[in-house]
Amino acid sequence: MIADNITQISIDNSGRLCIFPATQKFVLIYRSATEVHWDNQQYCLYSPKPREWNYHDWFTHITKVIRDECSCELLITGETGWLNIPEKLKQQIIHQSK
């Protein structure tokens, strides 16, 4: 299993949760049919705009899919940036990642 740091977690203008890995690219992740996608222009993983699931559920799902399908552990570090992420969600994600 490889590990990659998450450089940024954000919610973009269209409501997608975006996770930016430092080095890894997941261009073919759409083949997993898990609703996890790769933005090849911004180099980030993203979810659809939440419907039944909330953003925390999507973060959990994306990181699990990447771990299970790509054998890559995505890690939050002290350098991870947070853009348009409410403080409560940030704390939930950090707590889950410990």
State how far the Cα of 93 lies from the Cα of 31, in Å rounded to an integer: 26
The whole-number pLDDT of residue 97 equals 76
Give the integer Cα–Cα distance in Å for 85 and 66: 21
Architecture of domain 2-97: Single Sheet (2.20)
According to the model, what pLDDT value does residue 2 have?
A: 97
**DSSP assignment, residue 75?**
E
Quick one: pLDDT at residue 96?
84
Is pTM beyond 0.75 here? yes
Residue 50, pLDDT score: 86
Q: Calculate the alpha carbon distances from 98 to 16, 59, 76, 81, 89 in Å.
A: 24, 14, 9, 17, 15
Rounded Cα distance between 34 and 76, Å, is 22
- What average pLDDT score do residues 35-54 get? 95
Per-residue model confidence as pLDDT tens digits over 46-96:
999 889 999 999 999 999 999 999 999 999 999 999 999 999 999 999 998
